[in-house]
């Protein structure tokens, strides 16, 4: 029985007695502490403590290497897919009421999204709660977000910066590099560390650039729909380091397709009506959050306290 259930029961009754001891309502109407805790045997106390830990809420989203994260800009939700398109998990994220999320990436086990409009800028997502925290504002318009090494790569159109510009930032907001490319409306950006991949939304073309912005090659984005290849509107792009391939999302056709780095169609899956406006491939193993460490320290403390009690009893 969870602590919440115990408290609810105790507020309706004068007392509660269970595996954790007793809650008793005093004459003044207040609930008093567990009286039975100090009377429990050490082993029973340890079991009860772990029962409490089990009742605590688990993580809402754990990053799994080899999966895709798709950002639903309408539902304000991050979906985690395996490469066959099965939804493994999801997490609702908090954004300003007047804003739209237009990009997502992971860096060293952390998840970042770009918020356009309202209190715009780069945000980090708490994977345990979905709450976002402001990191920095690159002061640009329409934004797409990717990863290059341990840095962030951003492409944009409109705003005070030249259309078609690409900027590379550290995760703390320090500008590392920048260059311009042919004017486009970016529908996704990512990098393998040597090349930069950008999806041009109006033309439906993926452009392959070197690290100075020089175009090396390109290929059209064609999705296989009901047996026919259909030109799409790219809305997210992710580089897959495991297979050296690209994943491209389309928010009009509600699909995600996989291509070789030269543009050969390899397969894909439907997002079943989810509007994907940002895509990233998870390479980095999940990093435990503060909540995980907190639970771990609590468990160690409880075990340590129980062992100390046993030693004291044996010495008596």
Q: Determine the straight-line distance between the first and last CA of the chain, rounded to whole angstroms.
A: 34
**Average pLDDT rounded to a whole number, residues 63-68:** 96
Q: Where does the pLDDT of residue 283 fall: very low under 50, low under 70, confident under 90, or very high at 90 and above?
A: confident
Could you tell me the domains of the chain? 3-58+290-315 (no CATH), 68-281 (2.120.10.30)
Listed residue (186, 200, 119, 123) closest to 154, CA to CA = 186
Report the DSSP pairing between strands 165-169 and 100-107: unpaired
- Please report where in the chains the tokens 């007392």 appear, as a residue: 15
Are 92 and 129 in contact by the 8 Å Cβ rule? The answer is no
Q: Where does the pLDDT of residue 7 fall: very low under 50, low under 70, confident under 90, or very high at 90 and above?
A: very low
The pLDDT tens digits for 135-163 are: 998 866 667 899 999 999 998 764 444 55
pTM value?
Answer: 0.72
Please state, rounded to an integer, the average pLDDT across all residues of the chain. Answer: 78
The residue with greater pLDDT, 258 or 58, is: 258
The pLDDT tens digits for 171-206 are: 999 999 988 887 667 789 999 999 999 998 888 999
Q: Where does the pLDDT of residue 291 fall: very low under 50, low under 70, confident under 90, or very high at 90 and above?
A: very low
**Average pLDDT rounded to a whole number, residues 227-242:** 94
Listed residue (188, 38, 35, 191) closest to 107, CA to CA = 191
């Amino acid at each position: 029985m969870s602590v919440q259930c115990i408290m609810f029961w105790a507020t309706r009754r004068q007392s509660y007695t269970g595996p954790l001891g007793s809650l008793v309502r005093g004459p003044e109407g207040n609930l008093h502490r567990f009286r039975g805790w100090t009377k429990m045997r050490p082993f029973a106390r340890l079991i009860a403590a772990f029962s409490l830990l089990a009742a605590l809420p688990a993580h809402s989203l754990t990053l799994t290497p080899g999966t895709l994260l798709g950002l639903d800009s309408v539902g304000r939700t991050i979906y985690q897919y395996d490469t066959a398109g099965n939804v493994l998990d999801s997490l609702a994220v908090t954004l300003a009421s007047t804003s739209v999320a237009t990009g997502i990436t992971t860096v060293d086990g952390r998840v970042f999204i770009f918020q356009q409009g309202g209190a715009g800028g780069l945000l980090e997502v708490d994977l345990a709660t979905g709450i976002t925290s402001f990191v920095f504002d690159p002061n640009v318009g329409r934004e797409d977000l990717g990863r290059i090494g341990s840095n962030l790569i951003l492409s944009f159109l409109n705003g005070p910066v030249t259309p078609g510009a690409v900027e590379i930032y550290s995760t703390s907001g320090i500008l590392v590099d920048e260059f311009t490319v042919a004017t486009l409306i970016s529908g996704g950006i990512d990098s393998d560390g040597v090349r930069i991949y950008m999806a041009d939304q109006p033309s439906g073309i993926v452009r392959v650039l070197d690290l100075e912005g020089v175009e090396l090659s390109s290929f059209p984005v064609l999705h296989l729909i009901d047996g026919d290849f259909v030109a799409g509107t790219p809305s997210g792009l992710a580089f897959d380091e495991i297979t050296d391939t690209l994943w491209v999302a389309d928010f009009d056709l509600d699909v995600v397709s996989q291509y070789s780095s030269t543009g050969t169609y390899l397969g894909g899956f439907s997002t079943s009506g989810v509007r994907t406006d940002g895509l990233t491939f998870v390479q980095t193993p999940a990093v435990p959050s503060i909540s995980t460490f907190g639970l771990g320290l609590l468990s160690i403390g409880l075990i340590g306290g129980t062992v100390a009690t046993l030693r004291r009893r044996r010495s008596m």
